[in-house]
Structure 1
Amino acid sequence: MDQNKQTILKSFSPVKVLIPVLLGLAATAWLFIKDDKLGDLKGIAEANMWWLLASVAVLLIRDFGYIYRIRALTDKFLTWRNSLDVIMLWEFASAVTPSVVGGTTVATIILNKEGIPLGKSLAYVMLTAVLDNMFFILAAPVALLATQGEVFPTFGLEAADVMKLKTAFYISYGLIAVYTLLMIYALFVNPRAFKWLLLKITSIAFMRKWRVNAFQHGNEIVWASQQLKGKEAAYWIKAILSTVFVWSARYFLLNCLIAAFTDVTLGEHLLIISRNLIFWIVMLIAITPGGAGIVEMAFPSFFGLFLGNFSNIVVVLYRLITYYPYLILGSIFLPKWIAKVFGRQAVEDEVTVQGR
């Protein structure tokens, strides 16, 4: 079987889909059972339907933003339909892999199988990672300054827990910043020096087992850098603005859900967005697929102040809208996409894997 095909089928195996579903359901059940709050589910009937519909509309707008961005980054090589396939499978890959890993390897293969050369596929995937991370790096200090310390939750937490949360945030932020600055240097300044550094590091005795991977990754950086040279200003403007758009929409979706259950002032809307930013920076180091389980457990501490008894309901709705649909949609898009790029035999292989 083609190596790329094996990677795709392995990444989207039923076990990898089932694990985040079970983790998420277990965490959700625990939230309701631990304090005997199953009766809170009746609160859904009290929700403002207009805000709930607005949350779905924001989700669709966000996904359109992702589709537009990948099409713009590929200089419109991808059609709108192909861009939709890529984003749905990319979201699927992100949903079944730990947040710290993401779906970058699979995304590169997906773009490559859509007819984009490997070097360009690597460049586009790395560029999206850099753009997303730069949004976090620049927006987080703004959120911290604008909220004057209120961005870190204290609701239901001991002082020691708040300190642990702050520590997790600063560690995550630091790792993102270091990684992003290295990637910017490697992609846009001196890719060959970065490759040399990787090889130098892996020449140390206990690091030598990673030397082959370092050599391969160094080559990938060089290829990707070559593809991004000479892009016009309009290209970068579209890339930056679409990134700001999709992440702003991603965060505002939660505002809509919270507003569906409680009155929210303008100041509280801004605080919710700020906390959501900090929340997801912390979640980026989550070790579970798609942050499953961890998101559900941490959510009440961050947003319970605004929701009270509706906190558990909103986290369930939030995950139902933003996470589980991509597991379903990915399972629908995957067989059709495999048939398109690998042929009929690949579909039979995929069915065999799904049946294991």
Structure 2
Amino acid sequence: MDKSQKRWLFISLGISFVVLFVMLILTIDTTTLIELEKCNPWIILLAFGMHIISLGFWALRIKLMCRSLGYKVPFIHSFNLVCSNMFLASVTPSQIGGEPVRVYELTKVHVPGGEATAVVIMERVFDAIVLAGGTVIGVFLLGMFFADLNFPEAYMIVAYIGAGVFAGLLILFLIIAKNHAWSNRVVNKLLHLLGRKKSPDVIQEYQRKIDMHMEKFYATLRHFTGKSKTGMFYGLVFSALYWINEFVIASVLMVGLGLPPNYILSFIFMILITVIMMIPLTPGGVGIAEVSMAGFYALIIPTSLIGVFVLLWRLIMYYFNIVIGFIASMIIVRRESKTQKDEPVNL
């Protein structure tokens, strides 16, 4: 882990600790311990298990999308890269830090860089489709059946902004996918702009490599939309399974705390909270996630249990990700170290 990653990790953990501490101080009262007597630890452990299953859905998505392109990615390798991805995603704004890890790890099992990049981008596209669709449905259901609830207006505004960001990214992707020549021109202009201090030979070599990867990227997109439509099918199905399973975890935690699950409203809350967390304001969405969770669920959960509920949710969705992500990253570091030792030394 480099200094930048350590700094982001400490910042994100610090923000999360402070917000959770303040939240617990403000919500715990004399009735909290009485309410916690209804807690079922086995159901809370089930919520942890469901999160692991979600990571399995993600790993299967990558494995099957790669298989549709003709590349065999072992499930264990796919699962480990997903877990390693979760570590960087937990300490970077908008959870974007994990993409390079996924691309790199796919290249380690002989998936070319262009194809690996296309798979990772298509993952984001499928996530955006599921979340954008879910946001539209969620807002519609709120207006139709839950209009009497007093929602914080600021949260709804941010959720609309997040939905707009998703829609914008989808439009941008469609523009890029349809305009190969235009995309090449934009990338090359950016390359020359960012590499003004580099020598012409270095710029030319970078341009050659970028053009090669762009060509493979577009070839892969054509493959996904042509002969490899099964890859798109698997991508959408497992994206939906991943997010549905993740969203149900909050309801399972409510049951574990002895509360009615309120599945539909909780599901809508989780869609809106996820969209809000995707806006790149803090590393890993810390602070924003806790406050959004408390703001929405305070409408259906007693105040005395809000702090405990948010703490349990963040233990599963954030702190657990950091732990398993760190372990997975150490597995990769150990593998890379062993590979370097095994390489012959040229004298």
- With the length of structure 1 as denominator, give the TM-score of the two structures: 0.80
Out of 169, 183, 191, the residue aligned to residue 194 of structure 1 is: 183
Corresponding residue for residue 238 of structure 1: 234
C-alpha distance 107-232 of structure 1, shift in aligned 2 (>3 A): closer
Determine whether 1:109 maps to 2:104: yes
The answer as to 2:248 corresponding to 1:252 is yes
RMSD value, Cα: 3.2
Query: Offset of 1:48 from its aligned partner?
Result: 2.8
1:16 Cα offset (Å): 3.0
Gaps of 5+ in 1: 1-8, 347-356
Q: Which amino acid aligns with 2:25?
A: I
Number of the residue aligned with 2:155? 165
Of 123, 140, 147, the residue aligned with 2:118 is: 123
1:280 matched to 2:262: no
Q: Which range moved further: 234-243 or 333-342?
A: 333-342
- 1:10 and 1:108 mapped to 2: Cα distance? 19
In the comparison of the two structures, how many residue pairs are matched?
325
Taking the aligned partners of 2:195 and 2:161, their CA distance within structure 1 comes to: 25
Aligned ranges 1:209-220 → 2 under 5 Å: none
Deviation, structure 1 residue 317 = 0.4
* Distance in 2 separating the partners of 1:337 and 1:95: 18
Q: How does 1:258-277 map to 2 (within 5 A)?
A: 258-264=254-260, 268-277=262-271
Deviation at residue 38 of structure 1 after TM alignment: 8.8
Closer/same/farther in 2, CA of residues 221 and 304 from structure 1, 3 Å limit: farther
* Structure 1 pair 148–120 and aligned structure 2 pair: CA distance change class (3 A): same
Q: Are residue 82 (structure 1) and residue 71 (structure 2) matched?
A: no
Aligned partner of 2:286: which letter? A
Q: 1:339 aligns with which of 334, 337, 347?
A: 334
Deviation of 1:152 (Å) = 8.8
In structure 2, the CA distance between the partners of 1:195 and 1:167, relative to structure 1 (3 Å rule), is: farther
CA distance in 1, matches of 2:78, 2:141: 36
**Equivalent residue for 2:138?**
143
Question: Post-superposition shift, 1:236?
Answer: 1.8
- SS of alignment partner, residue 301 of structure 2: helix
Q: 1:227 and 1:10 mapped to 2: Cα distance?
A: 33
Letter of the aligned partner of 1:94 in structure 2? A
Distance 1:274 1:210, change over 3 A: farther
Distance 1:105 1:232, change over 3 A: closer
Residues 1:290 and 1:334: Cα distance change in structure 2 (over 3 Å): same
Are the aligned partners of 2:92 and 2:282 in contact in 1 as well (CA < 8 Å)? yes
Alignment equivalent of 2:19, drawn from 7, 23, 27: 27
Once the two structures are superposed, residues 66-123 of structure 1 have per-residue CA deviations (whole angstroms, 9 ceiling, x without a partner) of: 1111111111521111112111111111112111634223332232234322111211
**Are the counterparts in 2 of residues 151 and 274 from structure 1 also a CA contact under 8 Å?**
no
Identity of aligned residues (%): 18
Query: Gapped runs of 5+ residues in structure 2?
Result: 197-202, 342-347
My pick for the range that moved more, 76-85 or 34-43, is 34-43
Q: Is contact 1:51-1:260 (8 Å) kept?
A: yes
Equivalences for residues 89-100 of structure 1 within 5 A: 89-99=84-94
1:6 maps to which residue?
none
| Equivalent position of 1:46 in the other structure | 38
Q: Tell me whether 1:290 sits opposite 2:293 in the alignment.
A: no
1:55-74 paired onto structure 2 within 5 Å: 55-74=47-66
| In 1: Cα distance, 2:138 partner to 2:266 partner | 10
Structure 2 counterpart of 1:283, one-letter code: M
Shift in Å, 1:217: 7.5
User: SS of the residue aligned with 1:275?
Assistant: helix
Question: What SS does structure 1 have at the residue aligned with 2:2?
Answer: helix
Task: Determine if contact 1:144/1:151 at 8 Å carries over to the other structure.
Answer: no
Alpha-carbon spacing, 1:340–1:142, altered in 2? closer, same or farther (3 Å): same
> Structure 2 vs 1, CA of residues 33 and 174 (structure 1 numbering), >3 Å: closer, same or farther?
same
Could you tell me how far apart the structure 1 residues matched to 2:277 and 2:308 are? 20
Which stretch of structure 1 is more off in the superposition, 112-121 or 318-327? 112-121
Check the 8 A contact 1:113/1:341 in 2, yes or no: no
The letter of the residue matching 1:223 is K
SS in 1 for 2:299: helix
Query: What is residue 312 of structure 2 aligned with on the other side?
Result: 317
Distance 1:15 1:58, change over 3 A: same
Cα distance in 1 between the residues matched to 2:212 and 2:282: 30
Aligned-partner Cα distance in 2 for 1:23–1:118: 36
User: Is it true that 1:224 corresponds to 2:232 in the alignment?
Assistant: no
